[in-house]
Amino acid sequence: MNITILGGTGFVGLSIINCLAKTNSNITVITRNREKNKKILVYPQVRLIEADVNNAEELINHTKKTDVLINLIGILNEKGHSGRGFRRSHSDLARHILNACKVNKVKRILHMSALNADSKGPSHYLRTKGEAESYLMTYGKRIANITVFRPSVIFGKKDSFILRFSKLLDYTPFVFPLACYNAKFSPVHIEELSNFIVNSIKDTKSFNKIYNLCGPKVYSLKEILELIIATKKRNIKVIPLSDSMSKFQAIIMEFVPGKPFSIDNYNSCQIDSTCHSDHNFYLDLETIIPTYID
Protein backbone atom coordinates (compact mmCIF):
# COMPACT_ATOMS: atom_id res chain seq x y z
CA MET A 1 0.00 0.00 0.00
CA ASN A 2 1.33 3.44 -0.95
CA ILE A 3 0.52 6.09 1.65
CA THR A 4 1.21 9.80 1.20
CA ILE A 5 1.23 12.02 4.27
CA LEU A 6 0.89 15.80 4.33
CA GLY A 7 2.10 17.22 7.63
CA GLY A 8 4.04 14.06 8.36
CA THR A 9 6.94 15.82 10.07
CA GLY A 10 4.80 17.30 12.85
CA PHE A 11 3.86 15.96 16.27
CA VAL A 12 0.96 13.78 15.07
CA GLY A 13 2.65 12.90 11.79
CA LEU A 14 5.75 11.43 13.39
CA SER A 15 3.60 9.31 15.68
CA ILE A 16 1.54 8.01 12.76
CA ILE A 17 4.70 7.21 10.78
CA ASN A 18 5.93 5.22 13.77
CA CYS A 19 2.69 3.20 13.68
CA LEU A 20 2.81 2.71 9.91
CA ALA A 21 6.45 1.61 10.09
CA LYS A 22 5.21 -1.61 11.67
CA THR A 23 3.25 -2.40 8.48
CA ASN A 24 4.33 -3.18 4.93
CA SER A 25 3.28 0.23 3.64
CA ASN A 26 5.40 2.48 1.46
CA ILE A 27 5.24 5.96 2.98
CA THR A 28 5.81 9.24 1.15
CA VAL A 29 6.05 12.37 3.29
CA ILE A 30 5.78 15.73 1.55
CA THR A 31 7.57 18.53 3.39
CA ARG A 32 8.59 22.13 2.78
CA ASN A 33 12.13 21.44 4.02
CA ARG A 34 13.64 18.05 3.28
CA GLU A 35 17.03 18.78 4.85
CA LYS A 36 15.48 19.85 8.16
CA ASN A 37 13.41 16.67 8.44
CA LYS A 38 15.86 14.01 7.22
CA LYS A 39 15.69 12.32 10.63
CA ILE A 40 12.52 10.45 9.60
CA LEU A 41 14.52 8.63 6.91
CA VAL A 42 15.60 6.30 9.70
CA TYR A 43 12.50 4.36 8.65
CA PRO A 44 13.53 2.37 5.54
CA GLN A 45 10.08 2.51 3.92
CA VAL A 46 9.80 6.32 4.18
CA ARG A 47 10.47 8.57 1.20
CA LEU A 48 10.83 12.31 1.90
CA ILE A 49 9.83 14.75 -0.84
CA GLU A 50 10.35 18.52 -0.76
CA ALA A 51 7.39 20.32 -2.31
CA ASP A 52 4.76 22.99 -1.75
CA VAL A 53 1.46 21.22 -1.03
CA ASN A 54 -0.39 24.48 -1.70
CA ASN A 55 0.84 24.35 -5.28
CA ALA A 56 -1.82 22.35 -7.13
CA GLU A 57 0.55 21.04 -9.82
CA GLU A 58 3.20 19.95 -7.34
CA LEU A 59 0.63 18.16 -5.19
CA ILE A 60 -0.74 16.31 -8.20
CA ASN A 61 2.75 15.36 -9.32
CA HIS A 62 3.75 13.95 -5.94
CA THR A 63 0.57 12.00 -5.20
CA LYS A 64 0.68 9.77 -8.27
CA LYS A 65 0.34 6.06 -7.44
CA THR A 66 -1.00 6.99 -3.98
CA ASP A 67 -3.51 4.56 -2.45
CA VAL A 68 -4.14 6.51 0.75
CA LEU A 69 -3.65 10.23 1.39
CA ILE A 70 -3.43 11.41 5.00
CA ASN A 71 -3.73 15.15 5.64
CA LEU A 72 -2.45 16.30 9.04
CA ILE A 73 -1.63 19.90 8.17
CA GLY A 74 -2.92 22.53 10.53
CA ILE A 75 -1.81 25.81 12.10
CA LEU A 76 -2.85 27.35 15.43
CA ASN A 77 -1.76 30.87 14.51
CA GLU A 78 -1.01 32.94 11.45
CA LYS A 79 0.92 36.05 10.51
CA GLY A 80 -1.46 38.97 10.88
CA HIS A 81 -5.14 38.68 11.75
CA SER A 82 -7.03 38.44 8.45
CA GLY A 83 -7.58 34.68 8.45
CA ARG A 84 -5.72 34.36 5.16
CA GLY A 85 -3.07 32.05 6.63
CA PHE A 86 -5.71 29.79 8.15
CA ARG A 87 -7.64 29.60 4.88
CA ARG A 88 -4.50 28.72 2.93
CA SER A 89 -3.50 25.95 5.34
CA HIS A 90 -6.96 24.51 5.94
CA SER A 91 -9.83 25.24 3.54
CA ASP A 92 -7.81 26.07 0.41
CA LEU A 93 -5.60 23.03 0.94
CA ALA A 94 -8.67 20.78 1.15
CA ARG A 95 -9.59 21.86 -2.37
CA HIS A 96 -6.10 21.11 -3.68
CA ILE A 97 -6.18 17.69 -1.98
CA LEU A 98 -9.51 16.72 -3.50
CA ASN A 99 -8.39 17.88 -6.93
CA ALA A 100 -5.17 15.85 -6.71
CA CYS A 101 -7.10 12.78 -5.57
CA LYS A 102 -9.52 13.17 -8.45
CA VAL A 103 -6.73 13.47 -11.02
CA ASN A 104 -4.71 10.57 -9.59
CA LYS A 105 -7.72 8.39 -8.68
CA VAL A 106 -6.79 8.21 -4.98
CA LYS A 107 -9.61 6.29 -3.32
CA ARG A 108 -8.89 6.81 0.39
CA ILE A 109 -8.48 10.09 2.31
CA LEU A 110 -7.89 10.53 6.03
CA HIS A 111 -8.23 14.12 7.21
CA MET A 112 -7.30 15.70 10.55
CA SER A 113 -9.79 18.35 11.60
CA ALA A 114 -10.51 19.66 15.11
CA LEU A 115 -13.23 19.39 17.70
CA ASN A 116 -15.78 22.21 17.27
CA ALA A 117 -14.69 22.80 13.67
CA ASP A 118 -17.54 24.79 12.14
CA SER A 119 -17.73 27.26 9.26
CA LYS A 120 -19.63 29.56 11.65
CA GLY A 121 -17.25 29.04 14.58
CA PRO A 122 -15.87 31.87 16.78
CA SER A 123 -12.29 31.79 15.44
CA HIS A 124 -10.50 31.68 12.10
CA TYR A 125 -8.99 28.36 13.18
CA LEU A 126 -12.33 26.66 13.83
CA ARG A 127 -14.07 28.26 10.84
CA THR A 128 -11.43 27.22 8.29
CA LYS A 129 -11.15 23.74 9.81
CA GLY A 130 -14.92 23.51 9.45
CA GLU A 131 -14.85 24.75 5.86
CA ALA A 132 -12.19 22.16 4.98
CA GLU A 133 -14.05 19.16 6.37
CA SER A 134 -17.36 20.38 4.97
CA TYR A 135 -15.84 20.66 1.48
CA LEU A 136 -14.29 17.20 1.68
CA MET A 137 -17.46 15.54 2.97
CA THR A 138 -19.72 17.37 0.51
CA TYR A 139 -17.74 16.84 -2.68
CA GLY A 140 -15.22 14.15 -1.82
CA LYS A 141 -17.56 11.19 -1.52
CA ARG A 142 -17.80 11.09 -5.31
CA ILE A 143 -14.04 10.67 -5.48
CA ALA A 144 -12.85 8.70 -2.44
CA ASN A 145 -13.78 7.15 0.89
CA ILE A 146 -13.09 9.84 3.46
CA THR A 147 -12.66 9.74 7.22
CA VAL A 148 -12.45 12.95 9.27
CA PHE A 149 -10.95 13.00 12.77
CA ARG A 150 -11.95 15.77 15.20
CA PRO A 151 -9.87 15.40 18.37
CA SER A 152 -9.78 17.59 21.43
CA VAL A 153 -6.30 18.81 22.37
CA ILE A 154 -3.62 16.15 21.81
CA PHE A 155 -0.94 15.47 24.42
CA GLY A 156 2.14 13.30 24.78
CA LYS A 157 5.92 13.40 24.53
CA LYS A 158 7.07 16.39 22.42
CA ASP A 159 3.56 17.92 22.27
CA SER A 160 3.00 21.66 21.85
CA PHE A 161 0.34 21.95 24.56
CA ILE A 162 1.58 20.61 27.90
CA LEU A 163 5.22 21.40 27.11
CA ARG A 164 4.41 25.00 26.23
CA PHE A 165 3.02 25.58 29.72
CA SER A 166 5.87 23.60 31.25
CA LYS A 167 8.47 25.82 29.59
CA LEU A 168 6.61 29.00 30.59
CA LEU A 169 6.60 27.80 34.20
CA ASP A 170 10.39 27.51 34.08
CA TYR A 171 10.48 31.30 33.84
CA THR A 172 7.66 31.93 36.33
CA PRO A 173 8.69 32.84 39.90
CA PHE A 174 5.59 32.83 42.11
CA VAL A 175 2.35 33.54 40.22
CA PHE A 176 0.97 32.64 36.79
CA PRO A 177 -1.80 34.85 35.35
CA LEU A 178 -3.97 32.45 33.35
CA ALA A 179 -6.32 33.55 30.57
CA CYS A 180 -9.47 31.52 29.77
CA TYR A 181 -8.86 29.54 32.97
CA ASN A 182 -12.28 27.88 32.87
CA ALA A 183 -12.03 26.64 29.24
CA LYS A 184 -12.49 22.89 29.27
CA PHE A 185 -10.66 20.16 27.37
CA SER A 186 -10.76 16.37 27.04
CA PRO A 187 -7.13 15.65 26.10
CA VAL A 188 -6.39 12.68 23.83
CA HIS A 189 -3.09 10.81 24.09
CA ILE A 190 -1.02 10.86 20.90
CA GLU A 191 -0.30 7.12 20.73
CA GLU A 192 -3.93 6.12 21.24
CA LEU A 193 -5.03 8.62 18.60
CA SER A 194 -2.37 7.52 16.11
CA ASN A 195 -3.29 3.85 16.48
CA PHE A 196 -6.95 4.69 15.92
CA ILE A 197 -6.17 6.68 12.78
CA VAL A 198 -3.94 3.98 11.29
CA ASN A 199 -6.45 1.23 12.11
CA SER A 200 -9.13 3.27 10.33
CA ILE A 201 -7.36 3.06 6.97
CA LYS A 202 -8.86 -0.33 6.11
CA ASP A 203 -11.91 -0.12 8.36
CA THR A 204 -14.89 0.15 6.01
CA LYS A 205 -17.09 1.26 8.93
CA SER A 206 -15.06 4.47 9.06
CA PHE A 207 -15.63 5.35 5.41
CA ASN A 208 -17.30 8.74 4.92
CA LYS A 209 -17.58 9.26 8.66
CA ILE A 210 -16.63 12.11 11.01
CA TYR A 211 -15.29 11.12 14.44
CA ASN A 212 -15.45 13.38 17.50
CA LEU A 213 -12.58 12.18 19.68
CA CYS A 214 -12.09 12.96 23.37
CA GLY A 215 -10.04 11.53 26.18
CA PRO A 216 -11.39 9.87 29.34
CA LYS A 217 -11.42 13.00 31.53
CA VAL A 218 -12.51 16.63 31.31
CA TYR A 219 -10.17 19.28 32.72
CA SER A 220 -10.40 23.03 32.98
CA LEU A 221 -7.33 24.90 31.76
CA LYS A 222 -6.65 25.88 35.38
CA GLU A 223 -6.72 22.23 36.45
CA ILE A 224 -4.29 21.31 33.67
CA LEU A 225 -1.86 24.04 34.67
CA GLU A 226 -2.06 23.08 38.36
CA LEU A 227 -1.37 19.47 37.42
CA ILE A 228 1.76 20.55 35.53
CA ILE A 229 2.86 22.70 38.47
CA ALA A 230 2.39 19.78 40.87
CA THR A 231 4.32 17.45 38.56
CA LYS A 232 7.20 19.92 38.36
CA LYS A 233 7.03 20.33 42.17
CA ARG A 234 6.88 24.10 41.90
CA ASN A 235 5.25 26.50 44.34
CA ILE A 236 3.40 28.72 41.88
CA LYS A 237 -0.06 30.18 42.39
CA VAL A 238 -2.39 30.31 39.38
CA ILE A 239 -4.21 33.65 39.10
CA PRO A 240 -7.39 33.29 36.97
CA LEU A 241 -7.94 36.29 34.70
CA SER A 242 -11.34 37.76 33.96
CA ASP A 243 -12.69 37.56 30.44
CA SER A 244 -11.71 41.15 29.66
CA MET A 245 -8.19 40.63 31.08
CA SER A 246 -7.89 37.36 29.15
CA LYS A 247 -8.64 39.19 25.93
CA PHE A 248 -6.17 41.94 26.85
CA GLN A 249 -3.47 39.33 27.50
CA ALA A 250 -4.18 37.79 24.09
CA ILE A 251 -3.73 41.20 22.43
CA ILE A 252 -0.38 41.70 24.18
CA MET A 253 0.85 38.17 23.41
CA GLU A 254 0.16 38.71 19.71
CA PHE A 255 3.43 40.66 19.64
CA VAL A 256 5.52 38.07 21.51
CA PRO A 257 7.73 35.96 19.18
CA GLY A 258 6.00 32.69 18.35
CA LYS A 259 2.58 34.00 19.43
CA PRO A 260 2.20 31.77 22.51
CA PHE A 261 -1.36 33.11 22.87
CA SER A 262 -3.42 35.09 20.36
CA ILE A 263 -6.82 36.63 19.83
CA ASP A 264 -7.71 33.66 17.64
CA ASN A 265 -6.70 31.27 20.44
CA TYR A 266 -8.83 33.29 22.83
CA ASN A 267 -11.79 33.06 20.46
CA SER A 268 -11.36 29.28 20.11
CA CYS A 269 -11.43 28.94 23.90
CA GLN A 270 -14.94 30.37 24.01
CA ILE A 271 -16.21 26.86 23.21
CA ASP A 272 -15.28 23.93 25.45
CA SER A 273 -13.23 21.27 23.66
CA THR A 274 -15.19 18.35 25.09
CA CYS A 275 -17.52 15.75 23.60
CA HIS A 276 -19.15 12.37 23.85
CA SER A 277 -16.33 10.53 22.13
CA ASP A 278 -16.98 8.24 19.18
CA HIS A 279 -14.09 6.04 20.32
CA ASN A 280 -12.82 5.05 23.76
CA PHE A 281 -9.45 6.42 24.84
CA TYR A 282 -8.06 5.51 28.25
CA LEU A 283 -4.83 7.39 29.00
CA ASP A 284 -5.23 10.56 31.09
CA LEU A 285 -2.97 13.46 31.99
CA GLU A 286 -2.21 12.25 35.52
CA THR A 287 -0.82 9.02 34.13
CA ILE A 288 1.24 10.40 31.26
CA ILE A 289 2.43 13.93 32.13
CA PRO A 290 5.00 12.72 34.72
CA THR A 291 6.65 10.60 32.03
CA TYR A 292 7.76 13.52 29.87
CA ILE A 293 8.04 16.76 31.84
CA ASP A 294 10.39 17.68 34.66
Verify that 97 and 173 share a domain, yes or no. Answer: no
CATH number of the domain within which 16 lies: 3.40.50.720
Give the separation between CA 185 and CA 287, rounded to whole angstroms. Answer: 16
The pLDDT value recorded for residue 294 is 83
Residue 148 shares a structural domain with residue 86: yes
Residues 96 and 191 in one domain: yes
Residues 180 and 136 in one domain: no
Do 227 and 238 share a domain, yes or no? yes
Q: 196 and 269: one domain?
A: no
Residue 120 CB partners (closer than 8 Å, separation 6+): 127, 130
Tell me how far apart the alpha carbons of residues 287 and 60 are, in angstroms, rounded to a whole number: 43
Residue 272 to residue 263: CA distance in whole angstroms: 16
pLDDT score, position 140: 95
Whether residue 127 is found in the same domain as residue 83: yes
Q: Is the same domain home to 199 and 61?
A: yes
Average pLDDT over residues 30-36: 94
Which tens digit of pLDDT belongs to each residue from 158-195?
999 999 999 999 999 999 999 999 999 999 999 999 99
For the cut 90, the answer to whether the pLDDT of residue 204 exceeds it is: yes
In the prediction, which pLDDT does 175 show?
A: 97
> What is the average pLDDT across 127-149?
97
Residue 112 φ/ψ, nearest 5 degrees: -90, 115
At 205, give phi and psi (nearest 5°).
Answer: -70, -20
Q: What does residue 4 show for φ and ψ, rounded to 5 degrees? A: -110, 130
User: What's 238's DSSP letter?
Assistant: E
Question: What is the model's pLDDT at position 159?
Answer: 96
140: DSSP letter: G
Does residue 255 carry a pLDDT above 90? no
Q: Express the helix, strand and coil content of the chain in percent, nearest 5 each.
A: 40, 20, 40
Give the span between the Cα atoms of 105 and 144, in whole angstroms: 8
Question: Across residues 126-143, what is the average pLDDT?
Answer: 97
Tell me, what's the pLDDT at 59? 98
Give residue 54's pLDDT band: very low, low, confident or very high (50, 70, 90). very high
Q: Is the pLDDT of residue 200 over 90?
A: yes
User: Which pTM value belongs to this model?
Assistant: 0.96
- How large is the average pLDDT for residues 107-131? 98
Domain residues for the domain of 237 are 162-184+217-274+282-291
Same domain, 95 and 108: yes
pLDDT surpasses 90 at 80: no
Asked if the model's pLDDT at residue 41 lies above 90, the reply is yes
- Same domain? For 198 and 258 the reply is no
What's the chain's average pLDDT? 96
Number of structural domains (the chain) is: 2
Q: Are residues 121 and 11 in the same domain?
A: yes
Domain identity same for 40 and 12: yes
